[in-house]
Amino acid sequence: MNPEGRVALVTGAGRGIGKAIAFELSARGYIVAVNFRASSKAAEGLVGEIASSGGRAMAFQADVSSPEDVAGLFPQIEERLGQVQILVNNAGITRDGLLMRMKDHDWDDVITTNLKSVFLTTRQAARNMAKSRWGRIVNISSVIGIVGNAGQANYAAAKAGVIGLTKSTAREFGSRGITANAVAPGFIETDMTSILDEKLKEQMLLQIPSGRVGTPEDVAGLVGFLVSEKASYINGQVIAVDGGMTMA
Ligand SMILES: NC(=O)c1ccc[n+]([C@@H]2O[C@H](COP(=O)([O-])OP(=O)(O)OC[C@H]3O[C@@H](n4cnc5c(N)ncnc54)[C@H](OP(=O)(O)O)[C@@H]3O)[C@@H](O)[C@H]2O)c1
């Protein structure tokens, strides 16, 4: 089926991996709802870039950790672009710290932004997807959700939670033409990883068989495939994009 006309919502799409995903989906012919929380200039810039390359996109402000914002976001997209048939949950934050010293609000912020948001958007999107008997949900988890990491207990718990949520979504909605999969990026060069110290980056690089850090486009390519017609029998999977860093 020609993807033209299908509407894809990408959360946290103003920059980083979300931006590359929005661009990839637009290049594949989807109409893209570019969600941002604070980066309005970046989101509008992306919408402009997509338009000048012949695609169609629109920016929508919403904090996806807020039930009120998510409830308001979907009717806005529906009114201006159409029903969301593809949902990519990409928005995420880190608030790193050793467990013994971790503040309650750093735990709560990471769980709410990285995990509860995925529940909120999925609950909202799945209703219409189920009615039309077609839908694609891709949740951006992390290899940290699979292997854990000292100093990232909150982030690892949230990203592991995303995997459980993805598998439950796949089981609940699989018979209605909806697939739900998780993508687990490894070390990808974005604002999120630019704050890491150089020594740590060098150590991480040594653990990557492909011998380089990943790019947002490395992740976006897989997401583009997972939302396509050709991926209709891939459901409930967790696929790492990590240059071989965490292979079993
Ligand atoms: N970079 C990596 O190595 C790596 C590895 C594994 C997994 N990941 C995951 O990949 C995803 C994207 O990460 P990234 O590296 O691209 O990070 P990034 O460059 O820091 O970008 C994060 C994005 O999330 C958005 N966001 C944060 N909180 C939000 C909220 N409450 N509502 C809406 N949007 C929100 C930000 O929007 P605003 O700027 O508008 O706030 C921004 O667009 C995250 O889920 C991250 O955990 C990244």
**Would the pLDDT of 98 be above 70?**
yes
* Domain contains 91: yes
d(CA 100, CA 164): 26
The verdict on residue 18 lying in a domain is yes
Query: How far away, in angstroms, is 175 Cα from ligand 1 center?
Result: 31
Task: Report the residue among 19, 34, 90 best suited for mutation to probe ligand 1: largest number of ligand atoms under 8 A from its CB.
Answer: 90
Position 1 in a domain: no
Number of domains in the chain: 1
CATH of the domain at 126: 3.40.50.720
- pLDDT of the residue at 227: 98
Instruction: Label residue 48 by pLDDT band (50, 70, 90).
Output: very high
pLDDT tens-digit series, residues 140-157 = 999 999 999 999 999 999
Decide: 65 in ligand 1 pocket, CB within 6 A.
Answer: yes
Q: What is the DSSP letter of 195?
A: T
User: What burial class does residue 202 get, using C-beta atoms within 10 Å of its C-beta: 0-12 exposed, 13-18 middle, 19+ buried?
Assistant: exposed
Cα dist. 208→89, 217, 242 in Å? 26, 17, 7
12 within ligand 1 shell (Cβ under 6 A): yes
196 in contact with ligand 1, CB cutoff 6 A? no
Closest approach atom of ligand 1 to CA 14:
43
Confidence at residue 5, expressed as pLDDT on a 0 to 100 scale: 87
pLDDT on residue 107? 98
The catalytic site residues sit at 155
Q: Is the CB of 188 under 6 A from ligand 1?
A: yes
In a domain, 67, yes or no: yes
Quick check: is 247 in a domain?
no
> The domain containing residue 21 runs over which residues?
7-239
Q: What is the pLDDT of residues 199-232, one digit of tens each?
A: 999 999 999 999 999 999 999 999 999 999 999 9
User: For residue 15, which of 211, 228, 189 has the smallest C-alpha distance?
Assistant: 189
CA 90 to chain centre: 2
Answer whether residue 11 is part of any domain.
yes
Identity at 122, one-letter amino acid code? T
3-state helix, strand, coil in the chain (%, to 5): 50, 15, 30
Whether the model clears a pTM of 0.85, i.e. scores above it, the answer is: yes
pLDDT at 2 over 90: no
Angle between helices 117-132 and 153-173 (to 10 degrees): 10
Q: How far apart are CA 120 and CA 138, in angstroms?
A: 14
Tell me, yes or no, whether 43 lies in a domain: yes
Taking the CA atoms of residue 198, residue 200, residue 201 and residue 203 in that order, the dihedral angle to the nearest 10 degrees is 130
| Pocket of ligand 1 contains residue 214 by CB under 6 Å | no
Quote the pLDDT of residue 3. 80
Q: Is residue 232 part of a domain?
A: yes
Tell me the pLDDT of the chain averaged across its residues: 97
Of all protein residues, whose CA lies closest to atom 2 belonging to ligand 1?
188
